[in-house]
Amino acid sequence: MAKNVTIAFNQGTIDSESALVRVYRSPDDTAWTEIGTSVVNTGNAADYVDLGPSDNGLADGTWYYRAAQEDSVPNLSAFGPSVSVTIDTTAPGAPSIATLTVGDFTP
């Protein structure tokens, strides 16, 4: 089952003149795709929820995100550092009880 990722921004880094924050996603921290924007209101950027490709959720694996803010001109800022999140919806293999021994094992 794929999952969504909620991205919260460090509000202290949002410029009061910014109008929006552009959010980018990458599967490898190299090839980036803009996936959406978050509206900035008086210096606060709303959380952004990544619903995955076609809003079908993100597949298992590690995903990277980065963001840049933009003013009304528009001038785009430099990108902030990327962050990663690992999606894991697969249960581990079933553990096995290899042996079960009744005895005196008291130290």
Partner 1 sequence: MGLRNDVRLELVVPADTGTGTTTLAIERDGTVVHTIDVSASTPGESITWTDNNLDLGTYSYVAIATDGAGNASRSLTVQATVSAEGVSLLAVSSTLAVRPAFASTLMSQPVYRSTLTATKALTSGFTVTATNDSRLTTAPAHASRIAVRSAHTSTLIAAPITR
Residues that bind partner 1 (CB under 8 A): 60-61, 86-106
Closer to partner 1 by Cβ: residue 78 or 102? 102
Total residue count of the chain as it appears in this document: 107
Closer to partner 1 by Cβ: residue 53 or 61? 61
Asked if 65 contacts 58 with a C-beta cutoff of 8 angstroms, the reply is no
* CA atoms in the 13 A half-sphere facing the CB of 26: 13
Please state the closest distance from residue 90 (CB atom) to partner 1, in A. 6
Closer to partner 1 by Cβ: residue 27 or 36? 27
Please state the closest distance from residue 8 (CB atom) to partner 1, in A. 19
Please state the closest distance from residue 2 (CB atom) to partner 1, in A. 13
CA torsion 46→51→53→55, rounded to 10°? -120
Alpha-carbon gap, residue 70 to 37, rounded angstroms: 10
